[in-house]
Each structure stands twice: as C-alpha cells, then as structure tokens.
Amino acid sequence: MKIVSVVGARPNFMKVAPFCRALKAYPEVEHLLVHTGQHYDVRMSEQFFNELAIPQPDVNLGIGSGSHAEQVGRTMIEFEKVVRAERPDWVVVLGDVNATCACSITAKKEHVKCAHIEAGLRSRDMDMPEEVNRLVTDRLSDLLFAPDRISCANLAAEGVPAEKIKFVGNIMIDTLEREREKAAALDVDEIVRSNLVEGVAPPPSLSSYVALTMHRPSNVDSRETLVPAVRFFLDEVCAEHPVVWAIHPRAQKMLAEFGLWDEVAAHPNMVLVKPLGYHAMLRLNMGASLFMTDSGGLQEECCVLGTPCLTMRWNTERPITLMENGGASILVGNAVEKMRDAYRAQIAAPRRAMRPELWDGHTAERIARIIVEEG
C-alpha cells in the first residue's frame, strides 16, 4: 500500500509528525511525504521538521508565496506530476491550508482516494480562505477524520455519508502530549533572549507576561483593524504587563507598511520575538497569564493547557475551545471594546485545563489503523 501525505504551511507540520510515526507500525505501507513549499523560511518550516523529528520530505514542490490562485494553481500542476509518477492508494491532506485544498482536488481528478485529517471544522465565514479550503476538501474526501463531535455533526448535516466520517480526536494534541515535558524544561527568559527581533532591547526577567500572535489577513492586512488593535496592545496591555509577541512575517510586513513597526519595536514592554519553534511556543503558552491570538491551533493548545485566551476573531471553526463549551477562549473579534472587556475578565482568571473527548494523544494511531484497514 502506498500513501502520499502532503504538508505546505506551518500548522501542518505538528499534525503530520505523529501520523508519520504511527505509520511506522505498518511496514507494508510505503509512505511518501510531499512538502508543497508554501512556507519556506527556516523558522516557518525546517525548524519544525528538526524539532519534531519529521522525516525529510521526499519531494518539495517549491511553490513559495503568491496569491491564492497562484499558490493553489502551482501546487496542483506540480502535485499532479507526483501523483502520476507514484500512483498512491491514498493521498492524505491535513488542516485547511492551500496545500490541503489543492492536493485533494488533484488526487480526486487522478482517481486517487483522499483522506482529510481535521475534517468537519466550520467557521461559516466564507471570507476566510481556510473555510473555502475546508469545504472543498471535505466535499471531495473519501475518509474524513474529525477532531470532535461538533465537526462530525457538521459533516452529517452537509450530507456526508456516516461511513466516511471517523471521530478520531485531535492529532495536534498527540504532538502536545509527546513534547510537553521537553517544552516545560525550557526557560522563558532564554527563549526570549535567543529569539529577539534584531534591534529590540532584551527585557528584564519575565516573571509574568501576556503572549500574543496575530497573522490572519482579516486582522493584519487592513489599517482600520490593525492600527486600533496595536494601539490597544501598546497603550493598555503593555502599560500593565510585558507582552511577548511572536511576530508572523505577514504581520511584520503590514506593521512596517502602516508605519507602526518602529514604535512597536521600541516599546519597553513589548517584547518582539521571531516566529518560534514548537517547544518554545509551547513553553511560552504554559507560562502566559493570558494568550491573545487569532490562531486556531493556539486556541486549541490554550484549551488543553488551561491558558486564558482571547481569540481575536468574530467566529471560530473550533467552538469546542470556547468558554461556553468548557474551554479557555473568548471570541473578541477586532473591536477594541470587546478586547478590553475580555482582557479585564481573563487576565485575572485562573488556569483551567480542559480536555475534549479523544484529545488523548492517540489520534494518529487511530487514523493510521483506519486507513490501512480501508486498504
């Protein structure tokens, strides 16, 4: 049996690591890993392969940055060549990035079965590129591996036959459970020192801090949303707590474009660090009084670690992580008044870890077994 798995961007890497490991239990499976190359910087890609012992990709399609059509189109053209040369039994795609969508379409057009890990998530926000990717991939896939029961219900409501929907849990939590001890041993001050953005002064030792990430186009690409949010971080949050901001290349570019970069970099309580590796980010999360983020993955990690979280989005495809469902996160969109109220409520909140059903560290094993049994 031959399986081709596809990764393209940072959030895919922590999901594919346990899947690669789980497949080793099946020597009859030939497993090839394809990297589309959407993320290519060492800090966005290679460091995760090294830290999580992911096998080197057998093929890198070298797609790089570009518009959505450019990325999806180039990926389909290059991935089709791989599928034609290898003729796998299964193409396995993960998450909701452009690689997920491009390679599921390509697989099905080549009459190859497709399995989607992290199926059934729905934000119902069609302005989100990831929602488009999820809908296309789930519509085409032959096996849909859902992380929670809400996602299973979403798929059933869309008419996906029950035998294709497999409730297996959240594969990212496999990685969290495997790596958390290693992360816990790291020192936050050392993480900050060794990842500081050039030109940023090293802060004094951080006994407590707020963590921040932001990268979604809806938050960072427009002046109207980015400027008030950054003013809130600098004028209100940084006035009370050091803020460690792990800055995504997209956000860095837009801060410079809107003339905010110098002020952000010079603020004594704003600690700007480069994109962090897996263990460093997990350690930062474990020690944060509060996490402000627009990342779905971090929202899930906050839920399991119990870190109070402000999700800077109006909707979420991961409702299971919200406080009303027992999780750690509050949706605040990009309205400063909402951020402020939730910040006040959450900064004083105790850590309260929550573990949704089957987020138990064994999701990849369940997925590998089902695919192998399916044949």
| 130/148 with CB nearer ligand UD1 | 130
Task: Confirm if 201 and 265 have CB atoms less than 8 A apart.
Answer: no
Name the E strands within 8-108. 30-35, 59-60, 90-94
CB of 30 to ligand UD1, least distance (A): 27
Query: 130 vs 300, which CB is nearer to ligand UD1?
Result: 130
Residues making contact with ligand UD1 (CB under 6 A):
9-11, 38-41, 44, 65, 96-98, 129-130, 215, 248-250, 253
Instruction: Give the rounded distance of the alpha carbon of 89 from its chain centre.
Output: 27
- By C-beta, is 96 or 174 nearer to ligand UD1? 96
The least CB distance from residue 268 to ligand UD1, in Å, is 27
> Contact at 8 Å (CB) between 253 and 232?
no
For ligand UD1, which is the closer residue by CB, 297 or 356?
A: 297
User: For residues 193 and 53, what is the distance between their CA atoms, to the nearest angstrom?
Assistant: 25
Q: What is the CA radius of gyration of the chain?
A: 20
Closer Cβ to ligand UD1, 248 or 279, answer by number? 248
Tell me the Ramachandran region of residue 323: left when phi exceeds 0, alpha when psi lies from -120 to 50, beta otherwise.
alpha
C-alpha span between 282 and 298 (Å, rounded): 9
215 is catalytic: yes
Least CB distance to ligand UD1 at residue 125 (A): 13
Choose the catalytic residue: 39, 215, 241, 248.
215
In the bound complex, what is the minimum distance in angstroms from residue 202's beta carbon to ligand UD1? 24
Q: Supply φ then ψ for residue 311, to 5 degrees.
A: -95, 115
Q: How many CB atoms lie within 10 A of CB 106?
A: 25
To 10 degrees, the CA torsion angle through 281, 286, 287, 293? 60
Containing H/E element for 270? strand 270-273
Active site residue ranges: 215
